[in-house]
């Protein structure tokens, strides 16, 4: 049985977030609604979740010693990874010493790296994925492309939001793809995955909740990616009963293998009734921002409930909904958003601005949300609203 206490007292339920982005901000808000004491950590000050947390620490999540220091000092009841790039060896050691890592330290470790999760899913569990090879140098890279065939997709083993990712369509693309992958990885040059290109009809995120009473699924979320980064997502994605059932079976199998309680974002490519596993995040997913307006409990509320050991009831979809990421290009430490009155004049539109302190290059700074009569109308509506928003740098 879960017992929740009083923040800033000896009975407080203390939760430490490793990573404090826009997804962590919503998780922090949901935890605070249940009276938890939230400690936000990230590599820079004033990160989104820090703006709503009870206190914060600035440190690199990849610095194992610094991470251990903060966790030993704060003694949280739960350590909640919000990003992939964390010193997961330290999380494994801390778990063995009695700290509770969400959902498990092993889940954080296996999903931090494309190789860990591929080996588990494709090799141990025998689940269908794209064909793939891992390579460390250019000669092996060229050999892997020959074996897998063109087109193929190349990604650093540790990267997200499309960084370092490219699609090779002809042999002329080989040098540029290798260069991009070497420059785009989170921890510098190194190992890459070469994946056979999956010619899918559509792709989905199946939000899957492992909780004290079993497993629950949200209605499937469809999304459109550009260069490996999400642009729009919508819910529900229409799919055949057979494809949905297959996806649910695989999602349950993969998330059970990772272990622990929490919400997972399980990504699939769908072709006809064929379901091909792509990736899994053991935490809320960017495409799941749509659930801020689509469901009775958003993915953030579901994550908070699940990790606290509280029950999850059948998840109710309020209606067809869509989200559009506000990706800003430029450089500023005082970004201003204009056109909000026009964008929010439509009754179905809601907007979240993440409050990120800086943009330098390309960064997701907010999201436009809509609930409408159909998914098509919701997607059109978020696009129109987003086009009305301007930026002063
Ligand atoms: P990922 O970072 O692996 O989630 O990839 C980001 C996006 O790139 C996916 O959501 C797809 O739209 C696209 N993508 C990644 N891998 C493949 C693949 N093997 N075949 C086709 N598209 C892919």
Per residue in 210-231, pLDDT (tens digit) is 999 999 999 999 999 998 899 9
Residues 6+ apart with CB under 8 A from 162: 225, 226, 227, 228, 229
Distances (CA, A) of 194 to 24, 132, 183: 31, 5, 16
Please compute the mean of the pLDDT values over residues 341-364 and round it to a whole number.
Answer: 97
The helix (run of H) or strand (run of E) holding residue 81 is strand 78-81
Q: For ligand 1, what atom is nearest to the CA of residue 230?
A: 10
Considering only CA atoms, which residue is closest to atom 1 of ligand 1?
228
Work out the mean pLDDT of the chain and round it to a whole number: 96
**Residue 16 pLDDT greater than 80, yes or no:** yes
Query: Same domain, yes or no, for 310 and 214?
Result: yes
pTM: 0.97
* pLDDT at residue 188, as a whole number: 62
Report how far residue 375's alpha carbon sits from residue 233's, in angstroms, rounded to the nearest whole number. Answer: 10
Q: Is the CB of 279 under 6 A from ligand 1?
A: yes
Asked if pLDDT for residue 91 goes beyond 90, the answer is: yes
291 lies in the same domain as 236 = yes
Least confident of 35-44, 111-120, 178-187, 257-266: 178-187
Q: Report the Cα 118 to chain-centroid distance in Å.
A: 17
- pLDDT digit string (tens) for 37-73? 999 999 999 999 999 999 999 999 999 999 999 999 9
- Do 264 and 347 lie in one domain? The reply is no
Per mean pLDDT, which range of 200-204, 223-227, 367-371 is the poorest? Answer: 223-227
Rounded percentage of the chain residues whose pLDDT exceeds 70: 99
User: Residue 96 above 90 pLDDT?
Assistant: yes
Long-range Cβ contacts of 238-243 (<8 Å, 24+ apart)? 238/375, 239/202, 239/204, 239/270, 240/272, 240/273, 242/273, 243/270, 243/272, 243/273, 243/274, 243/275
Q: What is the pLDDT, as a whole number, of residue 169?
A: 94
Per the annotation, the verdict on 267 as an active-site residue is yes
Tell me, yes or no, whether 113 lies in a domain.
no
Same domain, 180 and 251: no
For range 186-201, the mean pLDDT? 88
Task: Specify whether 357 is located in the same domain as 271.
Answer: no
Token duo for residue 184? 């785009």
Instruction: Judge if 351 and 309 occupy the same domain.
Output: no
**19 close to 82: Cβ distance less than 8 angstroms:** yes
pLDDT one-digit tens code per residue, 142-176 = 999 999 999 999 999 988 778 899 999 999 989 99
CATH number at residue 333: 3.30.470.20
Q: Is 55 helix (H, G, I), strand (E, B) or coil?
A: strand
Cis peptide before 240 (omega within 30 of 0): no
**Above 90 in pLDDT, residue 308?**
yes
- Whether 117 maps to a domain, the answer reads no
Residue partners of 169: CB distance under 8 A and separation at least 6? 150, 151
Query: In terms of domains, do 326 and 375 share one?
Result: yes
Are residue 337 and residue 281 in the same domain, yes or no?
no
**Alpha carbons 287 and 131: distance in angstroms, whole number:** 25
CA gap 144, 195 in Å, rounded: 9
Residue 369: closest CA among 295, 312, 313, 310: 295
Q: How far apart are CA 216 and CA 303, in angstroms?
A: 12
Residues 304 and 324 in one domain: no
Q: Quote the pLDDT of residue 184.
A: 80
Domain that holds residue 157: 131-196
Q: Which of 286, 318, 350 is the last residue of a domain?
A: 318
133: nearest Cα among 118, 121, 150, 120: 118
For ligand 1, whether the C-beta of 198 sits within 6 Å is yes
Atom of ligand 1 nearest to the CA of 223: 10
Supply the DSSP symbol for 317: B
Domain boundary among 299, 318, 337: 318
Does residue 94 share a domain with residue 76?
A: yes
The answer to the question of residue 292 being in a domain is yes
Pocket test for ligand 1, best of 84, 122, 225 (most atoms within 8 A of CB): 225
Q: Residue length, the chain?
A: 393
Contact 232, 223 (CB under 8 A): yes
Count structural domains, the chain: 4
Confidence band for 187, pLDDT divided at 50, 70 and 90: low
| Residue written as token pair 């982005």 | 21
- The span from the CA of 167 to the CA of 14, in Å, is 43
Rounded to an integer, the average pLDDT of 260-265 is 98
112 assigned to some structural domain? no
Ligand 1, atom nearest to 195 Cα? 19
Measured between alpha carbons, how far is 324 from 88 in angstroms, rounded to an integer? 32
- Are 313 and 215 part of one and the same domain? yes
**Sorting pLDDT into bands at 50, 70 and 90, what band is 374?**
very high
What whole-number distance in Å separates Cα of residue 194 and Cα of residue 200?
A: 17
Confidence of residue 185 (pLDDT cuts 50, 70, 90): confident
379 pLDDT exceeds 70? yes
Q: In this structure, which residue's CA is closest to atom 7 in ligand 1? A: 228
Q: Is the pLDDT of residue 194 over 80?
A: yes
Is residue 3 assigned to a domain?
Answer: no
Q: Give the CATH number for residue 96.
A: 3.40.50.20
Helix axes 64-74, 88-96, angle to 10 degrees: 40
Residue 159's CATH number: 3.30.1490.20
Element (H, E) at 232: strand 229-235
| Mean predicted confidence (pLDDT) in 338-357 | 98
- Domain co-membership, 344 together with 302: no
d(CA 279, CA 127): 12
Contact 266, 252 (CB under 8 A): no
Let me know if residue 143 belongs to a domain: yes
Q: Whose CA is nearest to atom 8 of ligand 1?
A: 228
CA distance 321 to 291: 8
Residue 181 belongs to a domain: yes
pLDDT in the model for residue 376: 98
pLDDT value of position 206: 99
In a domain, 111, yes or no: no
Question: Burial code of 147-177, b = ≥16 C-beta within 10 A, e = fewer?
Answer: ebeeebbbbbbbbbbbbbbbebeeeebbeeb
pLDDT tens for 267-291 read 999 999 999 999 999 999 999 999 9
Model confidence at 121: pLDDT above 70: yes
Q: Could you say which of 149, 171, 196 is where a domain stops?
A: 196
Q: Is any ligand 1 atom within 6 A of the Cβ of residue 130? A: yes
């Amino acid at each position: 049985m879960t017992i929740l206490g009083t923040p800033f007292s000896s009975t407080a339920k203390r939760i430490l977030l490793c990573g404090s982005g826009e997804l962590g901000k919503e998780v922090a808000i949901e935890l605070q609604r249940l009276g938890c004491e939230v400690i936000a950590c990230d590599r820079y000050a004033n990160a989104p979740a820090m703006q709503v947390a009870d206190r914060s620490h600035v440190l690199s999540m990849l610095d194992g010693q610094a991470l251990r220091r903060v966790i030993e000092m704060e003694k949280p009841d739960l350590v909640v990874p919000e990003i992939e790039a964390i010193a997961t060896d330290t999380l494994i050691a801390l778990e063995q010493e009695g700290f509770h890592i969400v959902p498990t330290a092993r889940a954080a470790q296996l999903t931090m790296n494309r190789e860990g999760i591929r080996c588990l899913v494709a090799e141990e569990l025998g689940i269908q994925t794209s064909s793939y090879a891992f390579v460390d140098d250019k000669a092996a890279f060229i050999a892997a492309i020959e074996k897998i065939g063109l087109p193929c997709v190349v990604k650093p083993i540790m990267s997200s939001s499309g960084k370092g990712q490219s699609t090779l369509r002809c042999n002329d693309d080989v040098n540029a793809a290798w260069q991009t992958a070497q420059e785009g990885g989170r921890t510098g040059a190194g190992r890459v995955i070469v994946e056979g290109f999956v010619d899918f009809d559509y792709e989905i995120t199946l939000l899957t909740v492992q909780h004290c009473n079993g497993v629950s699924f949200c209605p499937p979320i469809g999304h459109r990616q550009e260069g490996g980064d999400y642009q729009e997502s919508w819910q529900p994605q229409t799919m055949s009963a057979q494809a949905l059932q297959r996806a649910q079976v695989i999602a349950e199998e993969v998330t059970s293998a990772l272990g622990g309680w929490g919400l997972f974002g399980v990504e699939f490519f769908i072709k006809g009734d064929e379901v091909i596993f792509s990736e899994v995040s053991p935490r809320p997913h960017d495409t799941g921002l749509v659930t801020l307006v689509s469901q009775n409990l958003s993915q953030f509320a579901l994550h908070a409930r699940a990790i606290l050991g509280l029950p999850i009831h059948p998840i109710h979809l309020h209606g067809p909904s869509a989200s559009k990421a506000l990706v800003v290009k430029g450089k500023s430490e005082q970004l201003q958003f204009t056109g909000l009155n026009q964008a929010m004049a439509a009754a179905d539109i809601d907007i979240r601005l993440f409050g990120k302190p800086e943009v330098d290059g390309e960064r997701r700074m907010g999201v436009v949300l809509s609930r409408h009569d159909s998914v098509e109308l919701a997607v059109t509506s978020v696009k129109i609203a987003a086009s009305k928003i301007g930026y002063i740098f």
